[in-house]
Amino acid sequence: MRYIGFSFSFNIQRCEVEVGDEAPIVEQGYWPLLRTLDTYRVPADLYITGYSTGLINTIDRSLADFIRARLGKGLALGTYTYTHPIPQILAPEEMRRQVMRGITLDRNNYGLSPKGFFPPEFARTNELSRILLDCGLEYTIVLSNFLEQAHPELPEAERYAPYDIDLGGGKSLTAVPISPDLPTAGRRFFKRMLLGELTPAKAAEALFAFVTRYDDIFVILERDAETIYIDELSSGVTHTKERLEEFLELVTRNAPREGFALTTIEDYLKIPQKRKKLRMPDFPGITKLETFTHGPSRELWEKTLAVRERLLSLDRTALDSENRFLLDRAWEHILLSHNSDGRIGDWQPEWKPGKHITAASRKQFVADNLKAADTILSRIEQNRGTGSL
């Protein structure tokens, strides 16, 4: 059987948007997207950071209610960490807490425990995969071309099929490839279509041409859930919603004729299937590490390393209840300081000219939470009579 899926990732902490100005993302980004999916009865997997859920509840709780009411009825929920960190610069314990905090907020707000994980930066390492398993997750999103690069001997259709990553010791985690690129459509065709660089008709035609090559295939298209709002804010591109509507109308109308069905990842994985088990290399992420550690980001990164060293050292120490309570508060501030959008230094986007501009308050949010953690750690050290490390 041929299947097509749609996945959308929600990170309300966009670098272009000042802290406190996120309401338009909900009103002009999330709502139009979800209503469009609902109108065309398109199943979709949603991956929402815990921080995004918290702000959504503050700005417009009815949007979370809208999602909750449709879970298992066309929508499926995955997790997207707490504050969208950069996995490649986190210590394992930081990553574990990011994942668990996100899952806890998913459970508390949507009434279920997610099974899938959307990795920030599309990072995939064996260490991260083991953390996901330990947190109770069953699959992670990966890029389809990641498998092509690691195992070029595999047939084309298998690059788009879920597979199990062999982690050794009898452990494995399912990897679900998304398809930003297709041989019949070119690179990032879904994104280019939404930006107006490819017509919806051409994009749909190219998608059908690829899917119908095979009797058994699962192609997943993915975009940021903020796209309808952010495309205009960042790139001056209008009518994203209208292009999405036209594309979904073509996809849903032609599904019976072209011989494919729409489904969520969660439902697809319930279908009995034999998956390959593969050893895979680590992939730290799509953005260069220097974006977050060098140039304008160097000073903040060096402060981060110093605070993290003290935090992890105290976390390994026997503490009384008062200091453990303080340490938990410090951890919360550290998790908040992880947000990648507030840590962007010098980033040249691939698809539009000009540098990626980060709002001043977004950077300040990271710095303020790092400072708050530092202050709490100093208090713990004073309580213990150790002084500053």
The domain made up of 2-278 has a fold known as 7-stranded beta/alpha barrel (3.20.110)
**What's the rounded Cα separation, in Å, for the pair 86 and 314?**
23
Residue-range domain boundaries for the chain = 2-278, 289-382
Would you say the C-alpha torsion 66, 72, 73, 75 has a positive or negative sign?
positive
Q: What is the pLDDT of residues 313-363, one digit of tens each?
A: 999 999 999 999 999 999 999 999 999 999 987 655 554 444 567 899 999
pLDDT value of residue 389: 37
Q: At 14, is the pLDDT very low, low, confident or very high (cuts 50, 70, 90)?
A: very high
Kindly report, residue by residue over 79-90, the tens digit of the pLDDT.
Answer: 999 999 999 999
Residue 344: φ, ψ to 5° = -70, 130
pTM exceeds 0.75, yes or no: yes
Q: Distance (Å, rounded) from C-alpha 128 to C-alpha 119?
A: 9
Residue 165 near residue 198, CB atoms below 8 Å: no
Mean pLDDT of the region 56-75: 98
